[in-house]
Structure 1
Amino acid sequence: MDEFANAEVFGIVDEQTTPKDTHFDAWHRPRKHWIRSKQWWNALDELRKDRSHLYSNSFNILTLPGGELLDIRYFYQQLRKNKSSTANVERLRLTGFVNNLADYERAQRNLPLLGISDTSTGDSVIKHDNIDNLSRDGVLKKTFEDMGPFELINLDYCNSIAPSGNNNRIESIYKIVTHQCQHQSKPWLLMFTTRTTKGSVSNTFFSSAEELISNLLIESEDFLESFSNHYSDCLEITQQNLFHEAAKLKLKEEYSSQFSEIFVVGLLAWLLSTAREHGVKVKLTSVVRYDVEGDKAESDMFSLVLRFEKIGRINADPTGIANVENSDFGLENRGKIASRVVSKVKKAKAVESILFSNPEIYREISQDLSIFLEECGKCMTTFWEEVCREEVEKNGWTLEQVKRK
């Protein structure tokens, strides 16, 4: 066997002959690493310390990892660095889907370098497939069922969770959530990002989300009060009779400036309602928004973390032999549950407002990110000069400030 044949596989790189990669995407930017390091890792760390997972030594994670496995690299490093007497989870059992062939092949090469078991053992699997195909029966569905249930599901979309012209994605999300609700008895997390502007969102799904919001406005005083407090300018008040007024959503053209937020409220209301039907309680633990490409997209990307916990429910005995009534163990109605997310969406902070509030915050995030990018073969000169310099100097800082060790 040629001793140099698999040099790249084993991380043996000749610095003089291997050029550094000067291409950087949105997920290589400091604002995205804030999501990775502050939002996602904090949620993962909190979950592994939950008493329900006290005796778990690994978590099953379903994700869209990309060729560099950047998020997985970060999680693994943090698990090694942050050993805890109250948490035994120190490894991940990865199930990943990569729809780009070059990225898929790169991910397969990178996987052994991270200390994750070889895919040949079946302990971790990366498939060359599109997770949207989960809406159909087939090999992908079997992989999902065999490797689950999952403690973490991280769906980091470059576009929308409900994209225009693609119903398969939202149907796949529904199958993922319902399967998890049926089979995962311990608390678990759904972390996802989604674009929210009109051009990126399916009109069909948005119309359904609007209808769900309208129904909640009618059936739930709690939801009506919360929505009125935060989005009164999106509502039209009608006089039903002498003593009663009703509220309904205006036409979306009349609240176009808040389209993104109404979409997210409707999306969350749908996910919460779906989980409730399966006796599962959901809490929106974190929501932030950010610009994908810098100051060009008006914070149209939302990043959300939901925590699911199975409560259970009992249906009355249809034979009548057992005199037991329906019970949902105290699960609140869907309107009350959905009312709690409205203010969180409205008050969602922009990552930029945090990241650029202090040069020390930016320095911490960008330097941490640079370590992982260098491991991925990225050119650090390009990173500092072309990715960071403009936004650093725009805030009145110098590049030397944030590069200082």
Structure 2
Amino acid sequence: MTDPSEPLSSISDDLTDGIIGNTIYDFDTPKKKEFLPWHRPRKQYVREKQWEYLITDLVTETPPRTGTINYLGLPGDDLFDLRHFHDKICIPKNLKLKFLGFNKGMKPGAEHNTQLEISLDEVNRLSHIHDGSDLLPDDLTAIALEKSVAWMKSENMGPFDVINIDLCDGFAKQPANEFKQTHYNTLYRLMYLQAKRQDPWLLMLTTRTNTECVDANVFETLKQVYRDNLADCEDFLNASNECFTVSDEDSFLDYCSESTGFTNVFLTSLCKWILTTGLRQNPPTKVEVKNVLGYTVAKEADSPDLMSIAIKITPTYVAMPDPIGLANQEFNQPSECLFASRILKRVHRKRDVDEILAGDEQVMNTMIENTSTLLDQARYDTSDYAIWVQNVL
């Protein structure tokens, strides 16, 4: 019988002696996670001052009927956006967040995939995350394929309260009509899925806007969209002249040759394409650009070349004309001319986030602190984060 006065450690050593020997096992120390370009405080500014602000406004004005925010997006490996919305919107509003995310880099055995799995487990355990949420190992553009898992999941979960297409590259980088899996086909299909909604919803679109990230032929098509309004909409012509000093073909071409002009024409025309898509739905939907925030990515850029556009899309209950003529209700189609003019003015009022943060130390410090909080949640060592920020500014 074992002596009860003998230390347990000694008992254990005696029992295991000769079975496992005296081997000491060393476990690999987790690699330190490096800070990445999108960890700069300017990204947090967009997350808070545009995304969080407008989503909060949306669910306050029109509370979700099911008590759940349906969200489609590209949350990345660390799922920062989902963590942030959970803490800053869902908990205060007592709403669930049901997300459909896309991450084409999910590959078995990949180092980043392990980190993603940990992040996904952490997020799924949060109190206000809906258990019907899903993260797919697909590119967002798989939605454009009618029989894809991405489309079937989107159709089953949609329509969405928020669609957040947060791209590091250009939305319009691909040629049009050469591939099915393009951002154009993806957004077009999502717009018609969203036509089922009875309530307003938000479309967030982040895209590069420099010439290298916009297909030349696509830009020519978008330029014609701008030209058409110059020719047939007096309000648009006046707004274009007032905001951009563009009123005729010569001034338009000169403006497009400048980096700022290229960006403004591209953004205005892209939003007008979304507007036209909405107005063609039955019933038509109103498309309103709420704000545009941007910052500079390319070192050689002389103006912000990555833009985040926030668009509110509101269903109408306008009756379409009766093709037979038995019903004679008045048809009041929302004015494309009016909404296009408003889009141009919003693009003109876009804000440079780098400039905002450089000019306001308090706001900068708040964004650094809030980013550090998210990094902590995702298991980053943030002891030198503030130093890293100063080095990359």
Q: TM-score range by the shorter chain?
A: 0.7 to 0.9
**Partner SS for 1:377:** coil
Distance change in 2, residues 1:136/1:115 (3 Å): closer
Match of 1:91 among 96, 111, 123: 96
Which residue of structure 2 aligns with residue 327 of structure 1? 331
For residues 189-228 of structure 1, what are the structure 2 equivalents within 5 Å? 189-228=202-241
For residues 1-400 of structure 1, what are the structure 2 equivalents within 5 Å? 17-21=29-33, 23-50=34-61, 52-53=62-63, 55-79=65-89, 82-83=92-93, 88=94, 90-101=95-106, 102=110, 103=112, 106-115=115-124, 123-138=132-147, 139-165=149-175, 168-180=182-194, 182-233=195-246, 235-236=248-249, 249-250=252-253, 254-278=257-281, 279-292=284-297, 298-320=303-325, 322-325=326-329, 327-328=331-332, 331-389=333-391, 391=393
Question: Do the aligned partners of 2:170 and 2:208 also contact (CA within 8 Å) in 1?
Answer: yes
Tell me the amino acid that sits aligned with residue 71 of structure 1.
D
Distance change in 2, residues 1:116/1:145 (3 Å): farther
Alignment partners' CA distance in 2, 1:297 and 1:272: 29
Question: Percentage identity across aligned positions?
Answer: 25
CA shift, 1:326, in A, is: 5.6
**Partner SS for 1:24:** coil
Q: Which has the larger radius of gyration?
A: 2
Question: Do the aligned partners of 1:289 and 1:301 also contact (CA within 8 Å) in 2?
Answer: yes
Alignment partners' CA distance in 2, 1:15 and 1:29: 32
Q: Which runs of 5+ in 1 are unaligned?
A: 1-13, 238-247, 392-405
CA shift, 1:299, in A, is: 1.0
**Partner SS for 1:324:** coil
**Partner SS for 2:98:** strand
Number of aligned pairs? 355
Alignment partners' CA distance in 2, 1:192 and 1:365: 21
CA shift, 1:211, in A, is: 0.9
1:196-216 CA distance string (max 9 Å, x none): 000001122211111111111
Question: Do the aligned partners of 1:98 and 1:129 also contact (CA within 8 Å) in 2?
Answer: yes
Tell me the C-alpha RMSD between the 2 structures: 2.7
Distance change in 2, residues 1:71/1:253 (3 Å): closer
Distance change in 2, residues 1:188/1:311 (3 Å): same
Question: Do the aligned partners of 2:52 and 2:89 also contact (CA within 8 Å) in 1?
Answer: no
User: What TM-score does the superposition give when structure 2 sets the normalisation length?
Assistant: 0.83
Alignment partners' CA distance in 2, 1:381 and 1:145: 43
User: What TM-score does the superposition give when structure 1 sets the normalisation length?
Assistant: 0.80
Tell me the amino acid that sits aligned with residue 208 of structure 1.
T
CA shift, 1:104, in A, is: 5.4
Alignment partners' CA distance in 1, 2:266 and 2:319: 33
**Partner SS for 1:260:** helix
Alignment partners' CA distance in 2, 1:73 and 1:125: 15
Distance change in 2, residues 1:122/1:390 (3 Å): closer
Question: Do the aligned partners of 1:108 and 1:126 also contact (CA within 8 Å) in 2?
Answer: no
Distance change in 2, residues 1:199/1:345 (3 Å): same
Alignment partners' CA distance in 1, 2:327 and 2:208: 49
Question: Do the aligned partners of 1:234 and 1:255 also contact (CA within 8 Å) in 2?
Answer: no
